[in-house]
């Protein structure tokens, strides 16, 4: 399941519902991304994520389909927010479920790496001094995604 939304979400509630009632699932792997309050040594007051509706959902669905093709997943959840967020707020939740831990862990790591590099989101950080700046892609994120 893919959800792209502006509204905050409760990670605990989402995970409680994920795979609920499924007794065939032996492993659930998760990743929760949060807004940091420091980047590059500067205090961050807020971050705004922008995206292209429609295109974003299609790309996330393609990334999820790739994970499902590579690993025997019983369930998959990707929630990604957009809009203005404050430090400490959840940005993204990825959960994968499989009969065995290896598939769940690998697929979760894959999804995180590919979301970071292939999902069409743009981050604008607001510093505590009122300055705004776009966050540049990092080479280390590209290297992590390339391993897949």
Instruction: State residue 142's pLDDT score.
Output: 82
Written as tens digits, the pLDDT of the chain (148 aa) is 999 999 999 999 999 999 889 899 999 999 999 999 998 888 999 999 999 999 999 999 999 999 999 999 999 999 999 999 999 999 999 999 999 999 999 999 999 999 999 999 999 999 988 889 998 888 887 887 888 8
User: Hey, which residues does 84 pair with through a beta bridge?
Assistant: 48
Instruction: State residue 16's pLDDT score.
Output: 94
Both tokens assigned to 71: 């690993």
Instruction: State residue 6's pLDDT score.
Output: 98
Which ranges of 33-138 would DSSP assign to H, the alpha helix? 55-70, 101-118
Instruction: State residue 146's pLDDT score.
Output: 83
Terminal CA-CA length for the chain: 22
Total structural domains in the chain?
A: 1
Measured CA to CA, the distance from residue 97 to residue 111 in angstroms comes to 13
pTM recorded for the entire structure: 0.93
Q: Where residue 73 sits, what CATH number does that domain have?
A: 3.90.1170.40
Q: Determine the structural domain holding residue 87 and report its residue range.
A: 2-146
Using the Cα atoms of residue 62, residue 25, residue 78 and residue 44 in order, give the sign of their dihedral: negative
Show Cβ contacts of residue 89 under 8 Å, excluding neighbours closer than 6 positions.
Answer: 8, 34, 35, 81
| Residue matched to tokens 């999804």 | 111
Both tokens assigned to 106: 């690998």
């Amino acid at each position: 399941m893919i959800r792209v939304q502006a509204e905050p979400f409760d990670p605990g509630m989402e995970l409680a519902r994920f795979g609920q009632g499924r007794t065939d699932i032996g492993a659930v792997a998760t990743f929760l991304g949060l807004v940091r309050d420091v980047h590059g040594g500067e205090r961050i007051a807020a971050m705004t994520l922008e995206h292209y509706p429609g295109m974003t959902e299609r790309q996330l669905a393609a990334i999820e389909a790739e994970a499902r093709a590579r690993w025997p997943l019983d369930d998959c959840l990707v929630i990604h927010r957009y809009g203005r967020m404050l430090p400490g707020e959840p940005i993204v939740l990825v959960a994968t479920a499989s009969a065995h831990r290896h598939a769940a862990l690998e697929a979760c790591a894959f999804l995180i790496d590919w979301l970071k590099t292939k999902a069409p989101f743009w981050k604008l950080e607001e510093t505590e001094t009122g300055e705004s700046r776009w966050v540049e892609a990092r080479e280390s994120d590209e290297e992590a995604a390339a391993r897949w």
